[in-house]
Amino acid sequence: MAMQRDAIGLSLDIAGLPEIRRREFRREHTPAEALEVQSFIELMDSQTPQERTLIDHDQSILEGIIARGDTRDATFSKGPRALRVWTVDRGRVERFAGVDLVILNLDYNSMLLMQYKCMDKELRSQWSYRPNAQFDIEISRMEKVRAMIRERTPEELKLIDIRLNHGPLYFKFCKRLPLSQQDGELAEGMMVSLTATKRLLESGALHGEKGGRTIGYENCKRYLNNSLFSALARDGWIGSRGLTAQHYEEVLGFIQQKEDYSLVVAESMTTATPVPW
């Protein structure tokens, strides 16, 4: 639930709606309320979008994909900015390897995929994540997703397709804190691209004295924080480019082949007249 909360909050920031995130996150919920719901969305006040553009777009792209699982959805908007978010769970919660977040920025036709991994506080009060065999499986799965996206990415560049980094896959290594201890902000942590994570794994810098692997602030010096990642994603400087609605369906369909997953899908757009590119 805490990871779902952060994924939804990050999506609100990317959509340019941080004030809604702060308002919703600062609302107090009793432990009993949190236990009774299946999705963090049920603890939030959703809104009716100011225009039907977002909903009409959803029906043409995501209707069949989002239906594969136990689904909750909500729409948030303020001024010209709108966000629709879904949580999709399948299988037993205790077997989830982590929450996957898929962010579709329709203003720049950009897709980002992020997988959450929780860091625990260990010796000397250091926060770290210990990669295991399941993590290696997730790396392999993400590499397949990256290959799918590369195969479908057109060579021709439009102005809207310009990216500082067109790699769409990231991990968020975040501090493991229960929902009751979360404040009105996003969970602290490190956003690290798939490429950078692989280089860390191959460098040997993650191996401890006893041969185990850890990822934390001490050995991962290059990462994006919440505010920088949100700004880059909101303005289309990172993420995929040039994909079509069919490509989105194919990628999301592959992601949902996992036996047990918890997925948050967020779709943001500006409802004002788009800039002519």
pLDDT in tens, 130-165: 988 889 988 999 999 999 999 999 988 888 899 999
Q: Please choose, from the candidates 236, 243, 240, 239, the residue with its C-alpha nearest in 3D space to the C-alpha of residue 274.
A: 236
Q: pLDDT value at position 68?
A: 58
pLDDT for residue 167 is more than 80: yes
Residue 92 burial by CB count (10 A; 0-12/13-18/19+): exposed, middle or buried? exposed
Q: How far apart are CA 120 and CA 129, in angstroms?
A: 6
CA distance 183 to 268: 24
Residue 48 corresponds to which tokens in the numbers above?
């009716």
Q: What is the pLDDT of residues 174-227, one digit of tens each?
A: 988 776 666 778 999 999 999 999 998 888 777 766 667 889 888 888 999 999
Whether 87 shows a pLDDT value over 70: the answer reads yes
Average pLDDT over residues 67-88: 83
pLDDT at 108 over 70: yes
pLDDT of residue 94: 43
Pick the closest to residue 263 from 97, 73, 102 (CA basis): 102
Which pLDDT score, from 0 to 100, does residue 16 have?
95
**Local confidence band at 166 (pLDDT 50, 70, 90 cut-offs):** confident
Is the confidence at residue 273, as pLDDT, over 60? Answer: no
Of the candidates 183, 181, 205, 182, the one whose C-alpha atom is nearest the C-alpha of residue 192 is 205
- Sequence-distant (≥ 6) Cβ neighbours of residue 136 within 8 angstroms: none
> In the predicted model, is pLDDT for residue 6 greater than 70?
yes
Please state the pTM of the whole predicted model: 0.86
Q: What is the DSSP string of 18-39?
A: HHHHHHHHTS---HHHHHH-SS
pLDDT confidence bin for 263, thresholds 50/70/90: confident
Q: Would you state the pLDDT for residue 56? A: 52
CB neighbour class for 71 (10 Å; exposed up to 12, middle 13-18, buried from 19): middle
What is the pLDDT at residue 270?
A: 87
| Nearest-angstrom CA–CA distance, 229 and 190 | 10
Q: What is the average pLDDT across 5-28?
A: 90
